[in-house]
């Protein structure tokens, strides 16, 4: 398979990338591990690609309170990081295979907003902020507002993600990711991300999201409500995981790999696994 013809531009700066995208109605090219396959399948025909691969947007930094991940940071770098919350490094380490993790980027993953991707789910659970630059200026967008629908985000056409920031994980906080792998691609048929804080033996805050089920990753507010104020014992975790059924509407999707009903049945199983990891790490 080969892609339709396109013009190629390499950006030397963020401002140039934005201006090239606007001028040529081009798509940003980062790791190319989602964009090139969809072009090869003729599902996208952008006409112009703006290569952002050499921009200075790679790396992870922490100021103690906040961890910032550059948009061009690869999944492998995130998986190896001890600075990011456990749920983020764990999920990044479960993406695809080594080749995908060495080429695919955080910015590209969330911009593509594939419902089977892992990072949108994690970004929701971590209440991440997505930082962008565009011809109308810079924005900081909450993950809740960023993911709009199937393969759709609130990004403008010429708007580039520069970085993503999340709160550092304190000692009383733990997080975890659990995933039902598509056996061929390793994309998530169900993905669950959880972060909990335990104070004086009781859960003082919880943030949970699920992906792979619905057109866009979903916050599991019923699960969160079933955790806060409780001791995180087996009974609480089981009841909270079961509550994810209340967070799933009629839009659970099925395909040749797993029916909607099967995914719905698997959701509490993987939410519980994510909660168990998060609770153990919070202790
Ligand atoms: C075999 C295979 C298995 C995979 N398995 C998984 C998996 O298990 N879990 C998972 O989550 N993902 C998986 N992926 C997807 C992978 O994680 C991709 O790396 C990722 O989805 C896209 O990142 P990229 O850097 O390759 O982006 P690209 O393919 O270069 O771009 C993707 C889209 O994002 C846009 N874009 C890229 N960077 C930016 C930016 N900074 N600002 C604005 N827009 C931008 C592009 O214009 C394009 O529309 C898999 C991919 C393959 C090929």
Domain parsing of the chain, residue ranges: 7-51, 60-167, 174-282
Architecture of domain 7-51 in CATH?
2-Layer Sandwich (3.30)
Q: Which atom of ligand 1 is nearest to the CA of 188?
A: 8
Helices (H), 97-195: 98-103, 106-112, 119-125, 143-146
> What separation in Å is there between the alpha carbon of 94 and the centre of ligand 1?
14
Residue range 60-167 in CATH 3.40.190.10: no
Does the beta carbon of 31 lie inside 6 Å of ligand 1? Answer: yes
pLDDT in tens, 79-114: 999 999 999 999 999 999 999 999 999 999 999 999
Per-residue confidence (pLDDT) for residue 103, from 0 to 100: 97
To the nearest 10 degrees (0 to 180), the angle between helices 260-282 and 234-242 is: 150
SS3 content of the chain, % helix, strand, coil (to 5): 35, 30, 40
Residue range 243-265: mean pLDDT, rounded: 95
Residue range 174-282 in CATH 3.40.710.10: no
Does the beta carbon of 158 lie inside 6 Å of ligand 1? Answer: no
pLDDT in tens, 34-78: 999 999 999 999 999 999 999 999 999 999 899 999 999 999 999
Residue 273: helix, strand or coil by DSSP? Answer: helix
> What separation in Å is there between the alpha carbon of 197 and the centre of ligand 1?
31
Predicted TM-score (pTM) of this structure = 0.97
Does the beta carbon of 32 lie inside 6 Å of ligand 1? Answer: yes
**What share of the chain has pLDDT > 70, as a percent?**
100
Q: Which atom of ligand 1 is nearest to the CA of 96?
A: 5
């Amino acid at each position: 398979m080969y892609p339709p013809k396109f013009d190629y531009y390499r950006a030397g700066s963020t401002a140039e990338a934005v201006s090239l995208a606007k001028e040529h109605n081009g798509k940003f090219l980062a790791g190319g591990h989602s964009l090139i396959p969809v072009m090869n399948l003729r599902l996208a025909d952008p006409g112009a690609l703006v290569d952002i691969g050499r921009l200075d947007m790679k790396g992870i930094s922490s100021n103690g309170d906040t961890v910032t991940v550059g948009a061009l940071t690869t999944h492998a770098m995130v998986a190896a990081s001890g600075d990011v919350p456990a749920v983020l490094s764990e999920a990044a380490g479960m993406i695809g295979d080594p080749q995908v993790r060495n080429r695919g980027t955080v910015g590209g993953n969330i911009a593509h907003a594939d419902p089977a991707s892992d990072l949108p789910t994690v970004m929701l659970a971590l209440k991440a902020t997505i930082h962008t630059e565009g011809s109308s200026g810079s924005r900081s967008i909450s993950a809740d507002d960023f993911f709009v629908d199937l393969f759709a985000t609130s990004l403008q056409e010429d708007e580039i993600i520069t970085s993503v920031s999340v709160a550092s994980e304190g000692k009383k906080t733990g997080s975890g990711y659990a995933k039902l792998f598509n056996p061929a691609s390793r994309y998530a048929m169900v993905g669950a991300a959880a972060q909990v804080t335990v104070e004086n033996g009781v859960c003082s805050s919880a943030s949970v999201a699920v992906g792979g089920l619905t057109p866009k990753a979903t916050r599991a507010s019923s699960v969160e409500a079933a955790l806060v104020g409780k001791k995180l014992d087996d009974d609480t975790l089981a009841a909270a995981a079961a509550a994810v059924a209340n967070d799933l509407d009629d839009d659970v999707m099925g395909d040749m790999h797993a029916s909607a009903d099967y995914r719905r049945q698997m959701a509490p199983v993987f939410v519980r696994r994510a909660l168990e990891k998060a609770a153990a790490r919070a202790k």
